[in-house]
C-alpha cells in the first residue's frame, strides 16, 4: 500500500494559512474512526443526521497497519529522521525506533508528544494503536477458534440458515464466531456453563436421541423471538389471577387463542413465543429466566395436537410459579424426559388441575360416549380436545374422544 502526504507539515496555529490548515497528514487520513470525506459528525450537526444524502457509514477496514509503519511514512513525508523526532519529543532514539518497528506499543504519553511535535492529534495516534491491537487480537482469536470448528458443526446449521441466522457461507473460524455470538458467549466452555448446565434435564444424562445442541438452539431462537415483545413488570400474583381467563382461550381458534394468551401473559410480565421444533430437539416447551428476572416460555407444538399444545403452556406456567428461577426447564417428549427431582410431575399435576379440576375426575373416567366428554368440556370452560386428551391419558382409551381432538393450526403466527 502506497500513501503520500504533505512534506514539512507543522503544528497548526493562528498564523498558519488556511490552505495549510486544510491539508491532512498521513496518520489522520488513515484514522479508522474518522468520518468519511464530505460527511459531518453528530456533534457538527447538532446531534442530527444531515438532511442531504444518506446517513454516513463509518469506514471499518478489515486490514490494519501498525502505528509504527504509519509513523515511518509520516516521517518520510516530512523529510524528518528518527533522530530529529527523538529530539523534538524528548524520547530516546531507541524508544522511537521501537515504536517505528512495532516492538513497543504507542502509549498515551507518546501520542501526546507526537501531537506536540508533529501536529497530528493524539486521538488519531491512539485510535490507530487501538485499531491495530484489535486487529492483532482478532487474528490470534481466529486462529484459536479453528480448534472448535467441529464443535460448531454439531449445531443445526440447516435450521439456522432457515431462520436467517447463518447465510450458509460461514466456514472455519467464521462459523465458530457466529455460533458464539448467537449465544452471546466468548468460548465453547462458556456456552456449556451458560446454556447447558442450567437446563434441569441436561444436568443428568439423556437418551442419545435427544440432541442438546438442537434443543438449546431452539430455545435461543425463542429468546430472540421474544426480544421485541412489550412486557409489563413481572407480577406472579397477577399471573395466578388470570389463569381462569387464560383457560378460556383454549376454546378459540388456535392462532387467535395463542395471540390473546400471549398478550395476557405479557401483561403479567411473561414473554411467550412459538418456535417450531428443530429436528433432534424433541422439546415440547421450555421455561427460561432471562437476564433482568423476566420469565420466558417457548412452545414448539411438537405433539401436533392443540390440547397438547395448551397443556404444555400451562405446564410451563407451573414451572414459573412453583420452581426455582435459577434453572431452565425443557419439557422433552415422553420417554426422553427427566423427572428425577419430581419437578416435571409437579408441573404436570398443576397444569392438569388448572385445566380440568379434580372434581371432574369421576365423571371424566366414567364417560362412555364422546358427547359426555363434550359436555364436561363446556362445564370446565375448556376446549373439547383438552377433555378428550385427559380422558385418553387417564384411561388409555384414545379412541372415544379422538373426534374431539384437532390438529394444531398456528398458521399466520
For 340, other C-beta atoms within 10 Å of its C-beta total 10
Same domain, 348 and 375: no
The grid cell for 72 is 515511518
Q: What is the mean pLDDT of residues 163-178?
A: 93
From CA 267, how far away is CA 289, in angstroms rounded? 17
Residue 6 maps to a domain: no
The torsion angles phi and psi of 10, rounded to 5 degrees, stand at -120, 160
Same domain, 47 and 164: no
From CA 276, how far away is CA 299, in angstroms rounded? 8
Residue 65 maps to a domain: yes
From CA 390, how far away is CA 200, in angstroms rounded? 26
Neighbour-count burial for 176-187, b at 16+ CB within 10 Å, e otherwise: bbbbbebbebee
Q: Is 109 helix (H, G, I), strand (E, B) or coil?
A: helix
Flag the least confident range among 290-304, 334-348, 350-364, 376-390: 334-348
Q: Is the pLDDT of residue 10 over 80?
A: no
From CA 380, how far away is CA 358, in angstroms rounded? 11
User: Is the model's pTM score more than 0.95?
Assistant: no
Same domain, 373 and 331: no
In the chain, the number of structural domains is: 4
- Residue 309, pLDDT score: 95
Residue 269 maps to a domain: yes
Same domain, 257 and 213: yes
Q: Which of the two residues, 60 and 402, has the higher pLDDT score?
A: 402
Among residues 130, 162, 195, the one where a domain terminates is 195
- Residue 151, pLDDT score: 96
From CA 202, how far away is CA 179, in angstroms rounded? 20
The grid cell for 123 is 486521538
What secondary structure letter does DSSP report for 315? H
Q: Where does the pLDDT of residue 200 fall: very low under 50, low under 70, confident under 90, or very high at 90 and above? A: low
Q: Is 397 helix (H, G, I), strand (E, B) or coil?
A: coil
Residue 375 maps to a domain: yes
Same domain, 240 and 375: no
What whole-number percentage of the chain has pLDDT above 70?
81
Domain range for residue 85? 18-142
* The 3-state secondary structure of 326-377, one letter per residue: CCEEEEECHHHCCCCCCHHHHHHHHHHHHHCCHHHHHHHHCCCCHHHHHHHH
Amino acid at each position: 500500500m502506497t500513501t503520500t502526504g504533505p512534506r514539512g507539515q507543522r503544528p497548526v496555529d493562528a498564523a498558519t494559512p488556511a490552505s495549510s490548515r486544510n491539508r491532512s497528514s498521513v496518520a489522520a487520513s488513515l484514522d479508522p474512526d474518522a468520518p468519511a470525506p464530505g460527511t459531518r459528525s453528530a456533534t457538527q450537526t447538532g446531534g442530527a443526521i444531515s438532511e442531504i444524502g444518506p446517513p454516513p457509514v463509518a469506514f471499518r477496514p478489515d486490514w490494519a497497519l501498525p502505528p509504527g509503519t504509519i509513523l515511518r511514512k509520516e516521517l518520510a513525508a516530512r523529510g524528518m529522521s528518527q533522530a530529529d523526532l527523538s529530539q523534538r519529543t524528548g524520547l530516546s532514539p531507541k524508544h522511537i525506533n521501537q515504536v517505528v518497528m512495532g516492538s513497543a506499543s504507542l502509549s498515551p504519553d507518546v501520542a501526546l508528544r507526537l501531537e506536540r511535535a508533529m501536529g497530528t492529534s493524539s486521538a488519531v495516534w491512539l485510535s490507530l494503536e487501538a485499531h491495530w491491537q484489535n486487529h492483532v487480537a482478532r487474528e490470534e482469536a481466529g486462529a484459536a477458534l479453528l480448534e472448535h470448528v467441529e464443535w460448531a458443526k454439531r449445531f443445526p446449521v440447516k435450521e439456522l440458515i432457515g431462520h436467517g441466522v447463518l447465510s450458509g457461507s460461514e466456514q472455519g473460524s467464521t462459523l465458530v464466531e457466529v455460533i458464539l455470538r448467537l449465544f452471546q458467549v466468548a468460548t465453547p466452555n462458556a456456552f456449556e456453563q451458560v446454556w447447558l448446565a442450567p437446563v434441569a434435564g441436561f444436568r443428568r444424562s439423556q437418551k442419545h436421541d435427544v440432541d442438546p445442541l438442537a434443543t438449546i438452539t431452539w430455545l435461543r431462537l425463542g429468546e430472540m423471538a421474544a426480544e421485541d415483545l412489550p412486557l409489563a413488570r413481572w407480577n406472579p400474583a397477577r399471573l395466578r389471577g388470570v389463569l381462569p381467563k387464560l383457560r378460556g382461550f383454549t376454546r378459540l381458534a388456535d392462532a387467535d387463542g395463542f395471540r390473546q394468551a400471549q398478550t395476557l401473559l405479557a401483561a403479567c410480565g411473561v414473554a411467550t413465543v412459538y418456535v417450531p421444533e428443530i429436528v433432534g430437539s424433541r422439546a415440547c416447551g421450555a421455561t427460561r429466566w432471562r437476564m433482568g428476572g423476566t420469565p420466558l416460555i417457548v412452545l414448539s407444538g411438537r405433539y401436533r395436537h392443540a390440547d397438547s399444545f395448551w397443556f404444555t403452556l400451562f405446564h410451563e406456567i407451573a414451572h414459573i410459579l412453583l420452581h426455582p428461577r435459577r434453572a431452565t426447564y425443557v419439557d422433552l417428549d415422553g420417554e426422553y424426559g427427566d423427572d428425577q427431582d419430581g419437578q416435571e410431575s409437579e408441573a404436570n399435576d398443576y397444569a392438569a388441575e388448572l385445566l380440568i379440576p379434580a372434581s371432574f375426575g369421576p365423571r371424566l373416567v366414567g364417560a362412555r360416549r364422546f358427547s359426555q366428554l363434550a359436555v364436561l368440556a363446556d362445564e370446565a370452560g375448556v376446549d373439547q380436545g383438552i377433555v378428550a386428551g385427559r380422558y385418553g391419558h387417564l384411561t388409555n382409551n384414545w379412541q372415544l374422544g379422538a373426534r374431539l381432538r384437532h390438529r394444531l393450526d398456528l398458521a399466520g403466527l
